[in-house]
Amino acid sequence: MNNPFSLEGKNAWVTGAAYGIGFAIAKAFAEAGAANIIINTSNEESLRKGLDAYAEAGIKNVHGYVCNVTDEVAVKETVEKIHAEVGQIDILVNNAGIIKRIPMHEMTRAEFQQVIDVDLVGPYICAAAVVPEMMERREGKIINICSMMSELGRETVSAYAAAKGGLKMLTRNICSEYGEYNIQCNAIGPGYIATPQTAPLREKQPDGSRHPFDSFICAKTPAGRWLDPDELGGPAVFLASHASDAVNGHILYVDGGILAYIGKQPK
């Protein structure tokens, strides 16, 4: 019996995968046998550093493109380049994302819109660009990277929570609209992961003490720690593989149990 978790022969496009969660997911895909890894970033420097990081990790067959996921024309052009230079896109991971931590009443419309554009409109643009080929082949995997903020709010992240909540429903709608073509669209909802995006929340205070948010998150996570990006690799391989062909429209929270836990009582 073939290994249902294998990605042998598959081409996977992970958006925004120069580092962070995207890099960890792409690495796991390569380790699961993916034939080609495709990444994009918003600028040349990030792409160059990202491709160097893959090479240093010994990951081969990585193809990189500079492409802003909010630019529909650029995304369509990039998909055409991928088809010409790499081949079909079997798996799309909508990972690229930003956050702006600003109180809602102090946030400008432009700032709010920028987060919505990258975190919600971008995944729509990329999914819409790859679905036609998946429909023709009657096979495809789309994985959106949601968030705890797809379920919970907190101060200063209104735009991010609105985008990630919308991304949860976009995931369910892609499932609903394209399931008949054997396209599965699911999401991963990471908990709090130690990446550049959350680095400000873990910075030591001027007096050398822990950042209050660092202590807060560790109290909210049963294991009492931040999660590592590599801990998302297995769940991502599952959702990208035939092992999950009967899973559709699901948000898989990889949060260490935050959503199940009221939080550790302060001493």
128 close to 140: Cβ distance less than 8 angstroms = no
Q: What does residue 183 show for φ and ψ, rounded to 5 degrees?
A: -105, 125
CB of 193 to ligand NAP, least distance (A): 4
CB of 17 to ligand NAP, least distance (A): 6
Catalytic-role residue among 54, 124, 160, 178: 160
Q: Does 19 bind ligand NAP (CB under 6 A)?
A: yes
Among 16, 64, 140, 233, binds ligand NAP (CB under 6 A): 16
Single-letter amino acid, residue 151:
E
Q: Does 16 bind ligand GCO (CB under 6 A)?
A: no
Is position 261 annotated as part of the catalytic site? no
Q: How far apart are CA 64 and CA 67, in angstroms?
A: 9
Output 32 or 157, the one with its CB closest to ligand GCO. 157
Q: How far apart are CA 243 and CA 64, in angstroms?
A: 28
Give 43's DSSP letter. Answer: S
Query: What does each C-alpha distance from 156 to 36, 78, 101 come to in angstroms?
Result: 38, 34, 5
CB of 90 to ligand NAP, least distance (A): 20
Among 13, 192, 238, 253, binds ligand NAP (CB under 6 A): 192
| Residue 120: both structure tokens together | 């919600």
Q: How far apart are CA 182 and CA 104, in angstroms?
A: 40
- Identify what 154 binds: ligand NAP, ligand GCO, none; CB under 5 to 8 Å per kind: ligand GCO
Question: Rule CB under 6 A: which residues touch ligand GCO?
Answer: 99, 101, 147-149, 154, 157, 160, 190-192, 197-198, 201
Annotated catalytic residues are 160
